[in-house]
Chain A
Amino acid sequence: MERVPILKIGTTLFVSIQIDLQDESVVRLQEDLADELVATGARGVIIDITAVEIVDSFIGRMLAMIGSISRLFDAETVLVGMRPAVAITLTELGLSLRGVRTALNAEKGFELLNGSA
């Protein structure tokens, strides 16, 4: 199983998913992020899915859960870089990703977290 690295940039944790996600990797990411939020006191999480070719119901649910977990540590999660084909497919699948904010790209995600959007 491959792990997704988590970078700390200022008060934000930045995650760029560059691998073909398998279920165990997403579950691991969720746990790693919770640990990092506690360790760093970060106020925001940005998850960049520019390179992610599909989000199915399991991966989508895990991403939404990351949003809920972050909130328990007083941090906001922003999902950035969703591909158009992924957005269309997610919607048809019936997944709304409620509870997670989105932005077009990482730059706009940082702006959103820093309150300048």
Chain B
Amino acid sequence: MDELPIRSGDDVVRVRQQVRVVAAKGGLSLVDQTKVVTAASELARNALVHGGGGTATIEVVTSAQGRSGIKVGFADEGPGIADVDLALTDGWSSGDGLGLGLSGARRLVDEFELTSKPGSGTSVVVVKWSR
């Protein structure tokens, strides 16, 4: 498992590159690699901008049915999200963005788990399976 820091814009680029490498290793098609890299880019930026930085963990996983895939986790120790359902709504934004980052990232992956509490940071774990 790779663990990468997210402290700068350069780190976000490095996370994207590593997610691409591991997604290819996990047997994902080019389109699916692009989807999971894009989702990772959104989530890494969130960790940096809203969480004040954090870490990404990236690994190849295998399902109970023997399918391979990639699992990427993001953790920050920022202010957390008060209303997770609201934050996952298309078009809802805490800043001046389009509000597609979190909701869009969820659409691009097969599994999406967000844990957050105000004051104790945010953790997002996503999985994308090969087809």
Q: Residues of A with Cβ closer than 8 Å to B? A: 1, 20-25, 53-58, 61, 83-86, 88-89, 92-95
Contact = CB atoms under 8 A, between A and B. Distances in A.
B13 interface: yes
Contacts of B35: 85, 88-89, 92
Contact of B9 (A1, A54, A57, A86): A1
Contact of A86 (B34, B45, B97, B107): B34
* Overall SS of chain A's interface: helix
B9 A23 contact: yes
Interface string B17-35: 1001000000000110111
Contact of A92 (B41, B101, B107): B107
A93 B38 contact: yes
Contacts of B5: none
A53 B20 contact: yes
A56 B97 contact: no
B71 interface: no
Most chain B CB atoms below 10 A, which of A53, A88, A93, A94: A93
A88 B9 contact: no
A93 B31 CA distance: 13
A32 to B, nearest CB: 17
8 contacts: A1-B10, A20-B13, A53-B34, A57-B101, A58-B101, A61-B97, A85-B34, A88-B31
Contacts of B37: 53-54
B98 interface: yes
Interface residues of B, number: 26
Interface string B94-131: 00011011011001100000000000000000000000
B9 A89 contact: no
B50 to A, nearest CB: 13
B36 to A, nearest CB: 9
Contacts of A89: 31, 34-35, 38, 108
A20 B100 contact: no
B3 to A, nearest CB: 20
Given A85-B30, A95-B98, A95-B100, A54 B107 contact: no
A21 B13 CA distance: 7
A56 B31 contact: no
